[in-house]
């Protein structure tokens, strides 16, 4: 296959080419083929295409419920404690020994660019479709821009500089021209541009279905983007970015339909029977209980042998490898620990496993076809980001107020009380570390931990943080492997070899 064909396959771009070596191949046409232009004839065609963007998120290679390999398993929360299965490739992530040739890493890259490609195709064709309701057209465009921005945010945090494509590519020359990494700052500006359009669109503040984006979701993401920029990019604009983050996060917070976070029990957030009514939820991937195609497997997959707390499906494995480092993070008496994890005491499996996601209903049945939605955004996450921003801006009282919203809802002592506890104050001597701790236990197993570490700690701090941990709390994964290179993933080898100059490799790989 020619170079341009490899790129098209791996970036998931919309141009579909064969492997013929004939020079006039691009001028040939299949009389039975349906062109992309012909697929966009009505508003319903656009709706179906937008639905296709959402659908791409579901994959474990993307950001679906089984996408923990790129995030939680890269962090200090979980891991694949098996260095043999699948040629040891999954183990490379939490062992900090990942290679550019890792096929799982490439699959993640491809899936994310597939989402971007689908969004670009919608945005490239929507103006050619006749809409009698222009507001509807604007809503569809806003959804596509949100999903493109959301995906680029995943890419830029994991790889740093990445190719930036914002249109449908129709020729090999266009593909070749955009086979190049661009600076992070440029990617972030595109993300901000897209999200600014979304927050100014006619989308509702909150959707009736949290499976579709809204202004609250766009402001949530915009605030997170500005916060990340403030802590990871040039410090000259730090204060401006922090103020922009606070503005966006407060806009999303003020769109909530509840009074105080304490009015929503923590357990309600993950209760399958309340997923359509829980006001804490902002944006999620919707699953259908009992449906063969759209069920959730997370409850059954997390269940350890000999246990029945998560699912009616019988398990024969370890469930999910939770690090003892995370178990040690929970404060004594934190009810979130009892809800989120359990120790399996089977003759074969004796270790901690995840119980945060449950569905033991008859509808889910013995096959474990659960109805758990995969939560991407919720208000406790937003509130803790407001605590971060306030702390960085020197508003200590405000930061503590936001932190206490989450601690109080969880049934934990306030920060003022906790800091007088010798164990708490020695482990979290600064408010910054206390907020990072709270995010870890509040949002455990929701795929935020790795991004939180990247946002909160600079390169040297991140290395020191991992080096200070006890190896005995991490099983086979070797903490000694962690170096400055591990802040970013390597560019997949198949992408790098297309153009080693423009697709330059990240340092250390």
Any idea which architecture 3-203 has in CATH? Alpha Horseshoe (1.25)
- pLDDT of 34: 57
Lowest model confidence (mean pLDDT) among 78-92, 111-125, 191-205, 221-235? 78-92
CA distance 296 to 310: 12
**Sequence-distant (≥ 6) Cβ neighbours of residue 35 within 8 angstroms:** none
Q: State mean pLDDT over 456-462.
A: 96
Angle formed by the axes of helices 184-199 and 134-159, nearest 10°: 150
Q: State mean pLDDT over 401-427.
A: 98
With a cut of 60, say whether residue 273 has pLDDT above it: yes
Distances (CA, A) of 308 to 91, 297, 304, 365, 465: 27, 14, 8, 12, 36
- pLDDT of 238: 97
Domain span(s) for CATH 1.25.40.390 in the chain: 3-203
Please report the DSSP string for 279-313 in residue order: TTEEEEE---TT-TTT-B-HHHHHPPTT--SSBSS
Binned at pLDDT 50, 70 and 90, residue 120 comes out as: very high
Q: 474-509: per-residue pLDDT in tens?
A: 989 999 999 999 999 999 999 999 999 999 999 999
- Which has more pLDDT, 329 or 171? 329
3-state helix, strand, coil in the chain (%, to 5): 50, 5, 40
Sign of CA dihedral 352, 358, 362, 365: negative
With a cut of 80, say whether residue 13 has pLDDT above it: no
- pLDDT of 230: 98
Binned at pLDDT 50, 70 and 90, residue 339 comes out as: very high
Residue linked to tokens 């503590």: 400
CA distance 319 to 187: 38
Q: How many CB atoms sit inside 10 A of residue 484's CB?
A: 12
CA distance 285 to 306: 29
With a cut of 80, say whether residue 27 has pLDDT above it: no
Instruction: Retrieve residue 155's tokens.
Output: 């890419």
CA distance 121 to 427: 50
- pLDDT of 307: 97
Instruction: Please name the residue ranges forming H helices in 38-183.
Output: 43-56, 91-94, 103-125, 134-159, 172-177
Count CA atoms closer than 13 A to 259's CA, side-chain side.
Answer: 2
- pLDDT of 309: 97
- pLDDT of 37: 78
CA distance 289 to 293: 10
- pLDDT of 9: 38
Domain span(s) for CATH 1.25.40.900 in the chain: 212-262+377-456
DSSP state of 420: T
Angle at 460 between CA 455 and CA 462, to 5 degrees: 45
Tell the burial category of 43 from Cβ atoms under 10 Å away from its Cβ (0-12, 13-18, 19+): middle
CATH class of 212-262+377-456: mainly alpha
With a cut of 80, say whether residue 8 has pLDDT above it: no
DSSP state of 485: G
Q: 166-213: per-residue pLDDT in tens?
A: 999 999 999 999 999 999 999 999 999 999 999 999 999 999 888 999
Q: 86-117: per-residue pLDDT in tens?
A: 779 999 999 999 999 999 999 999 999 999 99
With a cut of 60, say whether residue 437 has pLDDT above it: yes
With a cut of 60, say whether residue 2 has pLDDT above it: no
Main-chain phi, psi angles of 136, to 5 degrees: -65, -40
Kindly state the percentage of the chain with pLDDT values over 90.
88
CA distance 303 to 355: 7
Q: 375-411: per-residue pLDDT in tens?
A: 999 999 999 999 999 999 999 999 999 999 999 999 9
With a cut of 80, say whether residue 305 has pLDDT above it: yes
Main-chain phi, psi angles of 473, to 5 degrees: -90, 5
Q: How many CB atoms sit inside 10 A of residue 226's CB?
A: 27
Q: Beta strands 181-182 and 162-163: pairing type?
A: antiparallel
- pLDDT of 391: 98
pTM of the predicted structure, to 2 decimals: 0.93
93, 73 in Cβ contact below 8 A?
A: yes
CA distance 60 to 23: 38
- pLDDT of 209: 85
Question: What is the total residue count of the chain?
Answer: 509
- pLDDT of 288: 97
Mean pLDDT estimate for the chain = 93
Count CA atoms closer than 13 A to 272's CA, side-chain side.
Answer: 24
With a cut of 80, say whether residue 5 has pLDDT above it: no
């Amino acid at each position: 296959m020619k170079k341009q064909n490899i790129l098209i396959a791996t970036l998931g771009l919309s141009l579909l080419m064969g492997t013929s070596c004939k020079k006039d191949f691009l001028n040939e046409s299949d009389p039975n083929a349906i062109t992309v232009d012909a697929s966009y004839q009505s508003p319903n065609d656009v709706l179906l295409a937008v639905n296709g963007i959402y659908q791409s998120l579901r994959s474990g290679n993307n950001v679906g419920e089984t996408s923990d390999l790129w995030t939680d398993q890269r962090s200090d929360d979980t891991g694949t404690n098996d260095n043999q299965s699948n040629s040891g490739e999954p183990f490379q992530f939490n062992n900090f020994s990942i290679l550019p040739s890792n096929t799982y890493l490439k699959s993640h890259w491809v899936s994310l660019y597939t989402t971007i490609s689908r969004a670009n195709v919608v945005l490239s064709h929507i103006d050619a479709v006749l809409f009698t309701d222009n507001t509807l057209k604007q809503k569809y465009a806003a959804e596509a821009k949100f999903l493109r921005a959301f995906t680029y945010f995943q890419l830029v945090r994991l790889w740093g500089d990445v190719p930036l494509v914002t249109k449908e590519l129709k020729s090999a020359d266009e593909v070749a021209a955009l086979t190049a990494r661009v600076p992070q700052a440029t990617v972030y500006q595109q993300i901000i541009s897209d999200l600014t359009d979304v927050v100014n669109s006619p989308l509702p503040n909150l959707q009736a279905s949290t499976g579709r984006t809204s202004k609250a979701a766009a402001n949530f993401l915009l605030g997170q983007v500005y916060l990340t920029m403030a802590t990871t990019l040039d410090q000259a604009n730090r204060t401006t970015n922090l103020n922009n983050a606070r503005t966006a996060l407060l806009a999303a917070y003020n769109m909530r339909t509840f009074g105080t976070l304490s009015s929503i029990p923590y357990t309600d957030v993950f209760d399958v029977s309340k997923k359509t009514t829980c006001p804490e939820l902002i944006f999620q991937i919707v699953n259908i209980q009992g449906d063969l195609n759209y069920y959730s497997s997370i409850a059954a997959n997390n269940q350890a042998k000999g246990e029945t707390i998560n699912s009616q499906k019988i398990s024969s494995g370890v469930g999910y490898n939770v690090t003892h480092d995370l178990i040690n993070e929970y404060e004594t008496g934190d009810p979130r620990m009892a809800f989120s994890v359990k120790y399996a005491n089977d003759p074969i499996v004796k270790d901690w496993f995840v119980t945060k996601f449950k569905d033991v209903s008859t509808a889910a049945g013995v096959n474990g076809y659960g109805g758990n939605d995969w939560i991407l955004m919720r208000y406790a996450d937003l509130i803790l980001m407001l605590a971060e921003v306030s702390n960085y801006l020197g508003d200590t009282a405000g930061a503590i107020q936001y932190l206490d919203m989450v601690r109080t809802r969880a049934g934990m002592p306030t920060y003022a009380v906790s800091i007088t506890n010798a164990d708490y104050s020695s482990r979290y001597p600064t408010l910054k570390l206390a907020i990072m701790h709270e995010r870890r236990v509040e949002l455990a197993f929701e795929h935020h931990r790795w991004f939180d570490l990247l946002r909160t700690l600079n390169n040297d701090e991140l290395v020191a943080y991992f080096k200070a941990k006890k190896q005995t709390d991490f099983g086979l994964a070797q903490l000694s492997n962690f170096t400055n290179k591990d802040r970013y993933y390597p560019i997949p080898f198949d992408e790098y070899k297309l153009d080693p100059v423009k697709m330059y490799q990240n340092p250390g790989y």
